[in-house]
Amino acid sequence: MKLWHSVSAVSLLMVAIPSVLPLRAEDPIIPPSLAKIWPVGMERGNTATFTLDGRNLSGAKAVIFDAPGITARISQITDLPVEAAEHKFSTAAAVPQAKKQSALLEITVAREVTPDLYHFRVQTPLGTTNMLPLAVGSLPEVKKSEKTGAQPAVFPATLVGMITAPGDSDHYEFDGKAGEDLVFAVIASKLGSRLESLLTLSDSNGRVLAEAGRHDPSPDAALNFRLPLDGKYTLTISDREGGGGMNDYYRVDAGALPYITRYFPLGMRAGEAAAVAVEGVNLGGVREWKVEAPKQADDAKTVPLTLKENTALPLNKARLVVGSLPEIVEREPNSSLAQAESVTIPVTINGHIDGGATPDEDYFRFRAGKGQQLTIDVEAARVGSPLDSVIEVLDAQGNAIPRATIRCLNQTTTTLSDRDSRTTGVRLTSTTGLHVGDYLMIGDELDQIEYIADQPDADTDVRGIGGLRQAFLGTSPVVHAVNTPVYRAQILPPDAEFPSNGLPAFHLTWRNDDGGPGYGADSRIDFVAPADGEYVLHLKDVRGMGGPDFAYRLSIRETVPSYQLTASPENPNIPRGGNMPLTVSADRLQGYDGPIAIEVKGLPPGVTASAAKISAGEDSTVVVLSASADASLDGPPSTMQIVGHATINGRDVARAANVNAMLDADLDQVLSLQLASVIPPPDVVVTTETRQVSLEPGQQVTVTLHVERQNGYKGRVPCYVKNLPRGVQVVNVGLNGVLVTETQTSRTFTLRAEDWAKPIDQPIYVVGEVESNSSTSHASPPLELKVTAHKQAASVN
C-alpha cells in the first residue's frame, strides 16, 4: 500500500481574500491554528456552509483535505475579542497574540465521495494549521431544534445535535414498522466531541425497549433493534455520565441501514484468501464474504471488509488484519488447563471469548527451548472487538512463572493531584535519593525516571512514547490517586534473596493486561523461556466478560526486533532563513536497541533537514528543518514523509513515522496531511558561543547562548536544550528552561553528565520559544556534545 500522496492527490483549492491587508514586517510570525468547525459534518453531493474558529486565519490561501472530491472556500474572516484570561504572560513587553478569528467555510463534497471521516488543514501566509476532522455522510440530515420536546424525524437520516448542559438529553420521535431492523450509530469522539453517548429506545408508552452505551468501552454507542409493532417510537441521546456542554456534540446515523455487528476471523494471512463470516442487520442476505489478502504483510496493514458488491455500504468500518504467520481457528473446548489446545509456533490463533454464566477463558499449550525469545500479542480492541484482553504464560502444570523480583529501596508518595494512565509527569512528595534512570514502583506499575526537576514544585518525568507513559516488565499504566506509595525499585532475578529492609518486595510473572503505547487494551508479552519444555498461554477478558463478538487474534512467534516512529509536529512551518525543530520518537519493540537513522522526504524547495539518528539506547532525536533565505513563500505546502532505517539481522528495516496504532485507519489519508510549509523569517534567531562540548561522567560544563530578536519582537525568550542523551541534563534551572528576559540577549546554562552516563557523540540544540497564545520554536545550529569514557578535563571549543 502506498504510504503517502503528493499534494496534487488531495483536495487543495486556492482562495482569494481581497480585503486582507498584506503582512507587515513588524508583525510577529505566529502560525495559524484551528479550534473548531461547526457543524462537524455534512451530506455528500452537496455544498454546505460552516463556521470555523481559529487564530491568524487572515489571507487564507488553501483548504487542504486528505482525499479528492472535497473542495472548500473561506470567506468573511472576522476578528473576535480576546478574553483577558488568554494573556498568560506578565512581562514588561507585550506578548504577541495570534488573532482570534471566525470565518465562513463553504465546503462542496462530490456525490461519489465515500461516506467516512476526513481531515483538513488551512494554509495561510503564516503557514498551515493543525488538522480538524469532518464527517461526510450519505443520509439527509435532521438538526435538533432548540425547542423543548421530541424532534420529529423520518428515517433514514443523520441526527445532528449537542447535549448542551449537564444532565440534558435529546429526543427524536419517529414512526416505525413492525419487523424493521433499525440501527442507531453515534459518531462523536472521532470528531473531537467529549460526549460519552448513551442511546435509549422507547415505545409510545415510554417503556424502554433497548439501551446501548452504558458499559461500552467505546464512547460512541451503537444500538440495533427489531421493532415489535407499528407505531410511534422515541430515541433518546444523553451522556452516560450525566455530562453536557458545548463540546458534547454528536451525529447519529439512524434507520433500517446495513450494519455489521460482528465478523470472524478478524484477519488472514498475507497472500491467501479467507472466507469471513459476517453477521449484522440489513446486509442483503450476506452471511459470508471471501477476501483476497495482499501478498505482503506490512506493519499496521489492514484491508476493508466492504460488502458493497452485494449490498449498500455498511455504516461501520470493518477492517481485516493481514498477518504473516500460519493461521488456525481455536478448537473448543479449551476453557481449562486440562483442555488446553496444543499449537505449533509460529502461529496466529483466531478465537472468541464466549459469554455465559461462567466467564470463558482460553488455554493453548506450546513448546519452547531454554532461552528462546517469543513475542505473544493480541489484536482485538484495535480492530473493534469489545475484548479487553489479559494474557499470561504458565508452566506445564498451570503455575505462574516468575519473571523478576522488585526490591524496594526507599519510599515516597504521589502528591498534588490524581494522575491518569497516560501522562508521563508525576508529582512526588520527595525526590531525595532518586536519580535519572532509576526505576519506580508506583502501585503495581514499574516506571523509569526520565527527568528530575531542580525545583520541588515540578513533576518528575518517567519514560514515555509519543506522550504516553511506558511501563516495564509487563506491568500496565493505570490511574494513580494522590498519596499512592512510590518506591525506588531494584530489579533482581526472580530467585534473588536479600535481607529485609521493612519495605515490600514485588514478584512479577509473565503476565500483561495492556500492551503499552500503540496497543491500547490489547496485550503483549516478550517471553523468554526459562527451560526446555511445555508452556501454557492463558487468555481471558480482564473484566470477566464475553460473547460472540469478543473475537481476537493471538499470535505467538519468534521475537523479531523492530520499532515504530512518531514525529511531531506533523505540519512543520519553517521560517525563511530560520530553523525549526522536529522531534522523532521511537517505540522499540522486541528488544531492538540499536541506532535508527532518520530520513526526511518531500520537503519544499529550499528546505533541508539536518542529519539525525536515534542513537543506540536512546528513544528520540531532533531533526532541524532549515529554510534558505530565498525559499519561496508562495508555493503550496509539500507532503512530507519521515522514515527510519535500522539494520536488524543484517537487513535494512524501514519504518514510516506516524503509522502506529492505526489498524482501523486509512494510512494514505492520514499521511497525506503531513505538510511542510515555508513561512516569513523568524522572530528569534538562537546561536551558541561554542560549537562543541566535551565532558565525562560526573563532570559539568557551562555554555553561553545568544538570542537575536527580529520583526520588532521585544518579549522574553525561554530557551530549552533538546536532544540531550540519557544521563545528561541542564542543571540549576526549572524544567531545562533558560529564560532570556526582555532586557537580555545572552544567558549561560550548565550541562552535567551523571556518573552513569554512557559515552556518546551527538548534536544537541538550544531551542528558543516565542511566547504567545500559539508559541513558536526556533532551533540553534547544532552543538556537538561528546560524553567521553576516559578521565579528561571538560572542554568547550
Asked whether residue 219 falls in the same domain as residue 338, the answer is: no
Asked whether residue 395 falls in the same domain as residue 530, the answer is: yes
Q: Contact, 402 vs 494, CB < 8 A?
A: yes
Q: Is residue 2 part of a domain?
A: no
Asked whether residue 755 falls in the same domain as residue 694, the answer is: yes
Q: Is residue 586 part of a domain?
A: yes
- CA–CA distance, 663 with 302 (Å, rounded to integer): 6
The closest of 794, 598, 582 to 701, measured between CA atoms, is 794
Q: Contact, 509 vs 392, CB < 8 A?
A: yes
- CA–CA distance, 246 with 372 (Å, rounded to integer): 55
pLDDT at 238: 97
The domain boundary, picked from 468, 487, 509, lies at: 509
Is omega for the bond preceding 530 within 30 degrees of 0, making it cis?
no
- CA–CA distance, 48 with 240 (Å, rounded to integer): 31
- CA–CA distance, 638 with 655 (Å, rounded to integer): 20
Asked whether residue 593 falls in the same domain as residue 638, the answer is: yes
- Domain with residue 670: its CATH number is 2.60.40.10
What secondary structure letter does DSSP report for 658? T
Q: Are β-strands 151-152 and 169-176 bridged in parallel, bridged antiparallel, or unpaired?
A: parallel
- CA–CA distance, 591 with 224 (Å, rounded to integer): 45
Asked whether residue 133 falls in the same domain as residue 12, the answer is: yes
Total number of domains constituting the chain: 7
pLDDT at 590: 81
- CA–CA distance, 184 with 621 (Å, rounded to integer): 46
- Domain with residue 173: its CATH number is 2.60.120.380
- CA–CA distance, 409 with 500 (Å, rounded to integer): 10
Question: DSSP 3-state assignment of 177?
Answer: coil
> Residue 665: what residue type?
A
What secondary structure letter does DSSP report for 309? T
What secondary structure letter does DSSP report for 790? S
Q: Helical H runs in 512-640?
A: none
- Domain with residue 707: its CATH number is 2.60.40.3450
Q: Is residue 480 part of a domain?
A: yes
- CA–CA distance, 260 with 560 (Å, rounded to integer): 35
The closest of 671, 670, 663 to 301, measured between CA atoms, is 663
Asked whether residue 396 falls in the same domain as residue 407, the answer is: no
pLDDT at 746: 96
- Nearest 5°: phi and psi at 670? -65, -45
User: How many residues are listed for the chain in this entry?
Assistant: 797
Quote the pTM value. 0.87
The closest of 285, 46, 241 to 158, measured between CA atoms, is 46
pLDDT at 790: 62
pLDDT at 527: 96
Asked whether residue 272 falls in the same domain as residue 123, the answer is: no
The residue segments making up the domain with residue 348 are 327-401+516-558
- Nearest 5°: phi and psi at 669? -65, -50
> Please, what are the averages of pLDDT over each run of 10 residues along the chain (797 residues)?
34 40 59 95 97 94 93 93 53 69 96 93 95 95 89 96 96 97 96 96 97 88 96 97 95 95 94 91 88 77 71 76 95 96 97 90 98 96 91 98 96 92 92 90 93 82 85 93 95 95 96 88 95 98 93 95 90 96 90 94 96 92 97 93 94 87 50 89 95 93 96 90 91 72 94 90 95 87 91 59
Q: Contact, 779 vs 581, CB < 8 A?
A: yes
Asked whether residue 128 falls in the same domain as residue 11, the answer is: yes
Q: Is residue 776 part of a domain?
A: yes
Q: Is residue 1 part of a domain?
A: no
Asked whether residue 130 falls in the same domain as residue 17, the answer is: yes
Asked whether residue 118 falls in the same domain as residue 15, the answer is: yes
pLDDT at 736: 47
Asked whether residue 87 falls in the same domain as residue 161, the answer is: no
The domain boundary, picked from 89, 119, 137, lies at: 137
- CA–CA distance, 648 with 259 (Å, rounded to integer): 43
